[in-house]
Amino acid sequence: MVDKEPESKEEYDVNKFERPSVTTDVVIFTIKNDDLKVLLIKRGVWPFKDMWALPGGFVGMKESLDDAAKRELCEETGVCNVYLEQLYTFGEPKRDPRTRVITVAYMAVTNQSNIKLRASSDATEVDWYSVYNLPKLGFDHAKIIDYALTRLRYKLEYKPVAFEFLPPKFTLTELQKVYEIVYNKTIDKRNFRKKVNELNVLKDMNETKMEGAHRPAKLYSFIKENFKSVENKWIVFVPF
């Protein structure tokens, strides 16, 4: 016996096939205490109860993947309105003990100030951890963070993501520190400034920042419109 082929939405049987669950998980980076951190939540429920994991959750039937990632991050951690990009989709059949769960991983970047963490019902604790010193993680989240770090380093080479780590006004030393911390290596100050200058994407704010008994530093802001990724190459310090 052969089923009649559906010819419209009304005739289409949505329950014909068994379906997996789809979640989003977000690796959110920030810089705090001169260290690259990711936000983790301590799970309050089975599976991996009491272990740390990435914020994330099920995708609603009527929301886009981007919206789901945004919503989950905001709900679970209080981190809202940040730079977000899709990374990779992890779908090994056994990666979640509950059922078949496919997760669309996202990467986010924010500056540390103005972020007030909050714990949700699913998470007993929320905290920043150094990417170089992670706790034991549930699911395949260690692999996801590893992937996100590779992407972050790669992305910083050719897109102006570094500014997402900084407040709207920043000094050149602060910008350099972002690269140094993400790449975990020191950079020559003169070469750095030479390259940044050639890009013509910074606006001198005619303000200075003083902190300590030394010469104050000029403050700059990033002019997004001036950035041309096709014509100008972006800063490349660590080729992969």
Partner DNA sequence: TGAATAGTGTCTTTCAGACAATATGCC
Partner DNA sequence: GGCATATTGTCTGAAAGACACTATTCA
| Whether residue 47 has a cis bond before it, omega within 30° of 0 | yes
Binding partner of residue 225 among its own copies, DNA, none, CB cut-off 5 to 8 Å per kind = none
Question: Identity (one letter) of the amino acid at 157?
Answer: E
Q: Which of 125, 180, 198, 231 is catalytic?
A: 125
Each residue 172-201 as x (binds DNA by CB under 7 A) or -, in order, gives: xx--------------xxxx-xxx------
| 3-state class (DSSP) for residue 150 | helix
Residues 127-166: x where in contact with its own copies by CB under 8 A, - otherwise, as a string: -------------------------------x--------
Asked if 147 is part of the footprint of DNA (rule: CB under 7 A), the reply reads: no
- The CA distance from 69 to 66, in Å, is 5
- CA trace torsion 133, 43, 147, 105 (10° rounding): -160
Compute the distance between CA of residue 31 and CA of residue 170 in angstroms, rounded to an integer.
Answer: 14
116, 215, 230, 231: which one contacts DNA (CB under 7 A)? 215
Q: Which does 136 bind (CB under 5 to 8 A by kind): its own copies, DNA, none?
A: none
Contact flag: residue 169 with DNA (CB under 7 A): no
Segment interacting with its own copies (CB under 8 A) among 97-105, 132-140, 198-206, 212-220: 97-105
Q: How far apart are CA 156 and CA 179, in angstroms?
A: 8
Query: Beta 21-32 vs 101-109: how paired, if at all?
Result: parallel
Please confirm, yes or no, whether 198 is among the known catalytic residues.
no
- Residue 24 in contact with residue 65, Cβ under 8 Å? yes
Q: Which stretch binds DNA (CB under 7 A): 123-131, 145-153, 162-170, 205-213?
A: 205-213
Q: Which one of residues 1, 34, 46, 206 is an interface residue with its own copies (CB under 8 A)?
A: 46
Report d(CA 137, CA 38) in Å as an integer.
12
Q: Which of 210, 224, 230, 231 binds DNA (CB under 7 A)?
A: 210
Would you name the residues annotated as active-site residues? 125
